[in-house]
């Protein structure tokens, strides 16, 4: 085999990483998560230039690159922009089946993903029709919150 023939196919090595890590979420995310935990409300940050309300909040507008300062409560209702029904297991996630939807909450300009509960997912085609893009949902908060995105989930209206 010539040297050039060996480069035609990529060399692939399989591997797996399982790593636990702790990280500081930063000032903006800290305030967002504390607001979820302590107030049971979802907040975004408003861009002073383009007026977009970014949810989850960002320290800087992703459109204008301007620092955001103003906090705005959004939701609790919103509109499904996209969704997926998961039937295969993934490490660190609930046992399937489950739904994750990308939702633009009322008052927000951007969408945020979270779980959707309360649906029969046994027949994918039926569940997909019920979850259609454009359907309305509401954020439902847990009674005991920890300051994490899983402190709430979406439920169809």
Is 49 a domain residue? yes
Mean pLDDT, residues 7-36 taken together: 89
Is 19 a domain residue? no
Where b means 16+ CB within 10 Å and e means fewer, 97-126 reads ebbbbbbbbebbbbbbebbbeebebeeeee
Report the percent of the chain where pLDDT is more than 70: 96
Is 5 a domain residue? no
**Could you give the number of structural domains in the chain?**
1
**The pLDDT value given to residue 17:** 86
Contacts of 89 (CB under 8 A, 6+ apart): 95, 96
Q: What is the pLDDT of residues 57-112, one digit of tens each?
A: 999 999 999 999 999 999 999 999 999 999 999 988 999 999 999 999 999 999 99
Report the percent of the chain where pLDDT is more than 90: 85
Q: Indicate which CATH number applies to the domain containing 111.
A: 2.40.50.840
**60 is in which domain, residue-wise?**
24-156
140: confidence class by pLDDT, cuts 50, 70, 90: very high
């Amino acid at each position: 085999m010539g040297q050039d023939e060996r480069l035609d196919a990529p060399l692939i090595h399989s591997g797996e990483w399982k790593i636990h890590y702790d990280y500081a979420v930063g000032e903006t995310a800290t305030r967002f998560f504390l607001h979820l935990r302590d107030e049971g409300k979802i907040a975004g940050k408003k861009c002073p230039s383009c007026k977009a309300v970014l949810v989850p909040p960002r320290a800087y507008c992703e459109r204008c690159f301007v620092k955001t300062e103003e906090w705005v409560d959004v939701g609790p209702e919103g509109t499904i922009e996209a969704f997926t029904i998961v039937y295969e297991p993934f490490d660190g996630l609930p046992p399937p089946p489950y739904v994750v939807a990308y939702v633009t909450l009322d008052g927000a300009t951007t969408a945020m993903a979270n779980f959707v509960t309360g649906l029969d997912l046994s027949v994918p085609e039926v569940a997909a029709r019920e979850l259609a893009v454009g359907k309305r949902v509401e954020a439902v908060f847990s009674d005991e919150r920890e300051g994490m995105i899983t402190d709430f989930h979406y439920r169809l209206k």
